[in-house]
Amino acid sequence: MVGFLLGAGSMFAVTYSTQAILPQLGRAFHVSPAHAGLTISVVVFALACGAWIWGPFSDRYGRKRSIVLASALLVAPTVGAALAPSFDVLLAFRTLQGLCIPGLLTAGVPYVAEAFAPGIGGRAMGYYVASLVAGGLIGRVGVALVAAGIGWRWGIGLLAILPLSAAVLMQRSLVDLPIATAQVGTFQGAPSAASRTSSTGSSDPRSVSAPPRAVSSSSCGSLGPPARRSAGSRTGLAGSGLVCRHSYSQRSDWRSRCLRAFRASSWASRS
């Protein structure tokens, strides 16, 4: 778990690594401190966009792979940001950092819940949050101290050691969790629901929970042609009635919500 906490802390350290050295960045690239603040804004924006990529990736390929890959990918743009020859290049590398960071942050919480619960789930989550706070302090205070001593480029560049070490440790120590299977669609359960409803002869959705006693082809064969047609009709009508009642209830609920919202807005405009 040490590698996981180190990786989580490195994500926040990289995120806020330029916050305390904005004046130095302004002097180095001849921009105002407010303009230098874009080095924080682009990371936050890229982080929000990257979460849409890493979330499905971790669901499909596994939490460990997402966490380790994100930590390893973060090393290169961190070194690139330290060596950036211009402010635009620095912003580009900061954007790449922001795209890598969600790989651990989005998969970190579900990994803690799946890997450490119920044994030390609460404590593990506390350690995880504490590592994020510590990473933010390292990114601000640590980089500022190094920048005051040997320069801001060293302050940013040395942060690459954190995700690199975390990736190596996590690859060796983290447990591979089984990938959860995707849930089937809602309407794929309609045939089984219809067969269950046909056994009770009612379109009440509560009857779906009854044990299925679908009419087999052999039992229908013992019936006469009118009875077979009647049984088939009841099966089809029961299934359609179940779906129609469900969709009608959804429409009614939506209409009632719209009506309540319209009444509330009308009352507010009058007052």
Q: Is 230 found in the same domain as 108?
A: no
In this structure, is residue 77 part of a structural domain? yes
Question: What's the mean pLDDT when you consider all of the chain?
Answer: 73
And the tokens for 10?
């490195």
187 has a pLDDT exceeding 70: no
126 or 92, which is more confident: 92
Q: Which of 141, 173, 205 is the last residue of a domain?
A: 173
- Examine the fold and report which residue of 173, 208, 231 is the final residue of a domain before the chain moves on: 173
> For the chain, how many structural domains are there in total?
2
- Is residue 86 domain-shared with residue 204, that is, in the same domain? no
Residues 22 and 155 in one domain: yes
In a domain, 186, yes or no: no
Residue 118's pLDDT is: 67
- Would you say residue 148 lies in a domain? yes
The rounded distance, in Å, linking the Cα atoms of 198 and 195 is 5
238: alpha, beta or left? (left if phi > 0; alpha if psi -120 to 50)? alpha
Handedness of CA 171, 177, 178, 179 (dihedral sign): negative
For residue 254, the model assigns a pLDDT of 42
Per residue in 198-235, pLDDT (tens digit) is 444 444 444 444 444 444 444 444 445 444 444 444 43
Is position 179 within any domain? no
Q: Which of 173, 202, 225 is the last residue of a domain?
A: 173
**Do 22 and 36 form a contact (C-beta atoms < 8 A)?**
yes
Q: What is the CATH number of the domain that holds 121?
A: 1.20.1250.20
Question: Would you say residue 181 lies in a domain?
Answer: no
Domain carrying residue 208: 192-270
List the one residue out of 122, 163, 153, 120 whose CA is nearest residue 10.
163
Domain match, 100 and 128 both: yes
Q: Determine the distance from the C-alpha atom of residue 138 to the mean position of all C-alpha atoms in its chain, rounded to a whole number.
A: 26
Residue for token digits 């792979």? 65
Q: Model confidence over 37-92: pLDDT tens digits? A: 999 999 999 999 988 988 888 888 888 888 899 999 999 999 999 999 999 999 99
| Whether the predicted pLDDT of 160 surpasses 90 | yes
